[in-house]
Amino acid sequence: MKKYSVNQSSKMLERAKAVIPRGIFGHYGFSVREGNPNFFSRASGSRFWDIDGNEYVDMMCAYGPMILGYNHPKVDEAAHKQYERGNTVSLAGSVMVELAEKLVDTVVGMDWALFGKNGGDATTLSAMIARSATGRDKILKIDDGYHGVTAWMQDSRPGTIEADRESVISVPWNDLGAVETAIQENPDQIACFISSPYDHPVFRDNEMPSADYWPSIERICREHGIVLILDDVRAGFRISLSGSHEHFGFKPDLICFGKAIANGYPISALMGTEEMKREAQKVFYTGTQFFNASPMAAAKATIEVLLESDAANLMTDIGNKMNAALGSVAESNGFKLVTSGIPAMPYYRIDEVSTQTHFAWVDECVQRGLYLLGHHNHFVSTAHSSADIERACEIADVAFRAIVENGQISLKTA
């Protein structure tokens, strides 16, 4: 199995660098590596093709949005029909109301929805509503918790200032004691607690909540008048279509959705309880493109297809099969592939070897047609099939043999 040639991608990256800072920017920039593809030419189902014509089994699903497979006919049809009727018009489309109704019917405990474009719109708005509701400034989050690129959420990176982070307190994941201490040290100052349903940092195994974590967080938030925000932007609809809180047994006040909500069409949503509605009505947050009707039609169709196909369970099943199959391939080559996170969003790590070795294996996979990332969790869609699992295993097997033959094995240092 020969490695792919990516000459066209490399040339296009050089062109990009002349007119776009870094060439490929933001989180897509992290996957730019020697020998790997940079630009796609088309996508369909569970696969994409790069501009050199190479085909990939896509285990990143565009970092999550692709949940039903690229170019899903029902979603595309709904989006195109709405586009023909009107997309960005001087009035909102009635499809906005239909989508909000669909979300309220689907997501347990939520009574309303507001819409934005990116996950960060939903998380930013959620914090504003929490601050308005409580009259408090501070945001309590998890150490590695990622909620978008708004300044309050960034580490000390260029372009941000200390004041952006002044009101943000962060605590380790799964540490209820740290949450209690933060509240004691900041009495009546914490507006909200925001977290993903489980911990999915980069470069580290993903970690599920301990059995009592979420019910305890809910109790603590209620005791101290803190708004409980579930950031379901990444995991939303891949654990439960009713919302990840249903799976983990707690009741948030606000839930942020993004990524998979419209199978790739640009829309995100913030949902909330009746009690939060009064504050949501007061807070001003908007954008020129927030009322685009076509992504709303796509989101409605996506949710309908997800519900019809019992998608969360289907993706869990496919993810479990993919993880077991790749695990066997690793074992037959003398390695142990550690899988963490939910089956529909697996994070992979080769046990006991260095990060460089793990990345070398990932590169060998990518350069033969299995699109993985070394530092980030992966995503399963309902379009992934047993043919994808088989193809992934063939490639992973060759990749394991390649890193041994190339002498790329180094052990993890303590």
Ligand X SMILES: Cc1ncc(COP(=O)(O)O)c(C=O)c1O
Please, what is the minimum distance in Å from the beta carbon of residue 200 to ligand X?
7
User: Which run of H or E residues covers position 307?
Assistant: helix 293-308
Interatomic CA distance for residues 350 and 400, integer angstroms = 10
Kindly determine how many residues on this chain lie close enough to bind ligand X according to the rule CB under 6 A.
12
Q: Which is nearer to ligand X, 60 or 409 (CB)?
A: 60
By the rule CB under 6 A, 147 interacts with ligand X: yes
Backbone angles phi, psi at 167, to 5 degrees: -95, 10
Q: Is 123 in the site for ligand X (CB under 6 A)?
A: yes
316 touches 327 (CB < 8 A): no
Least separation in angstroms between residue 105's CB and ligand X is 24
CB of 355 to ligand X, least distance (A): 21
CB of 141 to ligand X, least distance (A): 11
Nearer residue to ligand X within complex by CB, 54 or 206 = 206
Residue 123 CB, nearest approach to ligand X (Å): 5
Cα–Cα distance, 338 to 350 (Å, whole number):
6
Residues 63-122 that bind ligand X (CB under 6 A): 118-120
* Part in contact with ligand X (CB under 6 A); list of ranges 104-112, 140-148, 170-178, 357-365: 140-148
Rounded to the nearest 10 degrees, the angle between the axes of helix 119-134 and helix 274-282 is: 100
Minimum distance from residue 375 beta carbon to ligand X (Å):
13
Is there binding between residue 248 and ligand X (CB under 6 A)? no
Between 148 and 369, name the residue whose CB sits nearer to ligand X.
Answer: 148
Q: Are 153 and 123 in contact (CB under 8 A)?
A: yes
Among 233, 239, 267, 392, binds ligand X (CB under 6 A): 233
Q: How far is the CB of 228 from ligand X (least distance, A)?
A: 15
Amino acid at 21: P
Nearest of 66, 347, 306 to residue 207 by alpha carbon: 347
Q: Return the amino acid letter for 52.
A: D
Using the minimum distance from each CB to ligand X, give the nearer residue, 197 or 319: 197
* Cβ neighbours around 225 below 10 Å, total: 13
Structure tokens at 225: 């008048």
Q: Structure tokens of 411?
A: 């052990």
State the nearest-atom distance from the C-beta of 225 to ligand X, in Å: 24
- Tell me which H or E stretch contains 185: helix 176-185
Q: Residues near 57 by Cβ (< 8 Å), separated by ≥ 6?
A: 46, 47, 369, 370, 371, 384, 388, 391, 392, 395
CB of 198 vs ligand X, minimal distance in Å: 10
Give the integer Cα–Cα distance in Å for 336 and 349.
8
Residue 258 binds to ligand X (criterion: CB under 6 A): yes
Of positions 146, 152, 214, 400, contacts ligand X by CB under 6 A: 146
Region of 4-12, 93-101, 226-234, 364-372 interacting with ligand X (CB under 6 A) = 226-234
Measuring CA to CA, which residue among 234, 267, 275 is closest to residue 251?
Answer: 275
Question: Residue 44, Cβ neighbours under 10 Å: how many?
Answer: 13
Residue nearest to ligand X (CB): 119
The smaller minimum CB distance to ligand X, of residues 159 and 334, is found at 159
Q: Does 234 sit near ligand X (CB under 6 A)? A: yes
Q: Which of 321, 305, 300 is nearest to 385 (CA)?
A: 321
Q: Provide the mask over 191-220, with x wherever binding to ligand X is found by CB under 6 A and - wherever it is not.
A: -----x------------------------
Q: Which is nearer to ligand X, 179 or 261 (CB)?
A: 261
Contact residues for ligand X, defined by CB under 6 A: 118-120, 123, 146-148, 196, 231, 233-234, 258
